């Protein structure tokens, strides 16, 4: 089994950081674009897609800026980070994703993110 490696993606999103942030850290916001169902208990998020469930602990949070989840059943170095990046000159907002995948699965992961972000953008009406 090959080790997972970090990869980064960035998507421009026409939204205010405050609104976007609610879709990154609130269960009902995440349910609208990231997973079929999300529940939270004691900083542990349970994400459900079809019949698959994954649990993650929210380990870093910066209001209107960043969330980082640590998957409970994944390799120790792996996490999922979603950071809101705002250009100081143009005020353009982007969502920077940091995720982990093996060399074999990284292209699939990127495609999944492209699709998820499309959902997010349409949900935001951006």
Would you list the domain boundaries of the chain? 5-124
Q: Which helix (H) or strand (E) holds 66?
A: strand 66-71
Q: What number of CA atoms fall less than 13 Å from residue 103's CA on the CB side?
A: 3
Tell me the pLDDT tens digit for each residue of 12-48.
999 999 999 999 999 999 999 999 999 999 999 999 9
Whole-number mean pLDDT of the chain?
95
Return the number of other C-beta atoms located less than 10 Å from residue 94's C-beta.
Answer: 16
**Tokens at 13, concatenated:** 């999103």
Q: What is the pTM of this model?
A: 0.93
CATH architecture assigned to 5-124: 2-Layer Sandwich (3.30)
Q: What angle do CA 110, 50, 62 make, to 5 degrees?
A: 55
Alpha-carbon gap, residue 88 to 64, rounded angstroms = 15
């Amino acid at each position: 089994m090959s080790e997972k490696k970090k990869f980064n993606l960035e998507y421009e999103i026409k939204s205010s950081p405050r609104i976007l942030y609610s879709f990154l850290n609130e269960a009902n916001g995440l349910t609208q674009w990231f997973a079929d169902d999300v529940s939270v208990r004691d900083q542990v998020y349970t994400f459900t897609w079809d019949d698959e469930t994954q649990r993650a602990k929210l380990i870093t949070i910066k209001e209107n800026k960043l969330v980082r989840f640590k998957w409970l059943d994944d390799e120790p170095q792996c996490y999922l980070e979603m950071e809101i990046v705002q250009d100081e000159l143009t005020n353009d907002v982007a969502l920077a994703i940091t995720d982990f995948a093996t060399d074999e699965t990284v292209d699939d992961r990127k495609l999944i993110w492209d699709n998820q972000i499309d959902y997010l953008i349409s949900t935001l009406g951006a």
